[in-house]
Amino acid sequence: MEMIETEISFSGYLKRYGHLKFIELSDPPLTKRPRYSPSVIPPLPDQNPIFTLKLSPIILKNNKRKRFTPKSSSSRSVEEITKQVFDGVVRKSSSWIKSEFLGRGSYGSVYLATSKKAKTKTTMAIKSAEISRASSLMDEERILTRLSSPFIVRCYGHEIAREETLFGGERTNYNLILEYCSGKSLFDLVNDNLGGLSEKDVKLLARDILYGLDYIHRANIIHCDIKPENIFLTPVENRIRPSGYVAKIGDFGLALEKGSSEYEKASGHRRGTTRYMSPELIRHGIVDYAVDTWAFGCTVLEMLTGQQVWGEHSDLGSVDWDILIGQSCYLPCIPDWLSEEAQHFLSRCLKRDPASRWGIGALLNHPFLQCGSIIVY
C-alpha cells in the first residue's frame, strides 16, 4: 500500500525515540479540566534525526468519511466522532503515541503521549498549540526548565512538529512535554469529597504545596495562579501516605520571575483567577510572593470544607468581585467547626494586609502542619 510521508523535526529529549505519527484534529470541547503530571525522565539524546510520519491514504479517507458524513439525524455528536478519528489514527504510531485527549485550555490542547520503545512505559503530558499562539507555553517552559523539585511538575523540553491536518494541509505546533501525574488534580479530589478532606490528609498535601512554593520563591519566581486545578497528584503507597498522593504544583503559564523585564511589564496588572486573587492584586495590581500565600490559603480552605472559596458570592458580577475582594473588609469564611489550629493557620494565610500575611517559612512551622509523614526523594 502506498504511504504518505511527511517530516517532523524534534528538539529536546525526544530525539532518540524512533518513529512518531502526528495528525492534527479538531479537538472536542473541554469536558473536564486538563490533568498532567509526573513519572520518569527519559535520557537526553545526542542526535537530532528527522522522524517520518506515515499515514495510509485509506485510513485518512475512512476517517474523513466518519468525521464529516452523519449517518442520520440521531447520529453521534461531532465530539464523539472526533474522538473516534483520534483513536483510529493516532494510536497506530510505532513509537510515540498520543494516546488520549485530556482537554483544552486557553493555551491549547492537552494530550497523553506514551513511548512504546522504553523498557518501562513512559507516559507524558503534551500541551500543544499552534506555534503562532504558543507564547504562554514558551513562557511556561522558560520558567520550568529552571526548576527541579519533587513538589513541582517537571518539564522535559519541547518539540516543534509539522502536523498534517485532515484537510491535507500542514501546521506547525509547539508541544510542551511535561510530567504526567497519574493521580487526580486537587480540584478533582476535592470534588469527590464534598464534605472536605480529613485534616490529616490536608496537612500532608498543604505541606507539599508549601514546599513547592518555598522552592520557587527562593528562585525568585511567583506562580500567580495557585488554585486546586493547578495542583496535581502523584500516587504513592498508602503506607507512606494515607491519602495515597503527593501534591505537585503545575501550570506555570502566568508565573513571573521577580526583577525580570516581564515582571516589570506586569506591574499594575492582574494575573490569575479572580476567585483566588489577593486584595492587593485586585485593587492595585501588586504582584509579590504574598499573592501566592493568599491563593494557597484559599486552596487549603477548599480542601478542608469541600466548598469553593467565596462560594456564597458565586452570583456576583466582575465589578462586584472587585469590590468584595479588593475594597471591602470581608474575608473568606473560615468555619468554626474546623479545629482551632486549622482556623488559626488559615487566618495567617488570609490577612488582607500583605505585610501581615505569614510567609512560607512561618507557615511550614505552624503547629497545624507539625504531624504526619514527609516524602523524601
CA distances from 330 to 309, 313, 321 (A): 12, 12, 11
Nearest-angstrom CA–CA distance, 69 and 65: 6
Nearest-angstrom CA–CA distance, 375 and 245: 10
Cell triple for 308: 469553593
Nearest-angstrom CA–CA distance, 271 and 266: 8
Active site residue 225: yes
- Cβ proximity of 304 and 198 under 8 Å: no
- Cβ neighbours of 41 (radius 10 Å): 12
Instruction: Give me the catalytic one of 27, 225, 251, 292.
Output: 225
**Annotated binding residue 116:** no
Nearest-angstrom CA–CA distance, 55 and 172: 18
List residues with catalytic annotation: 225
For the annotated binding site for ATP, the residues are 127
Binding-site residue positions:
127
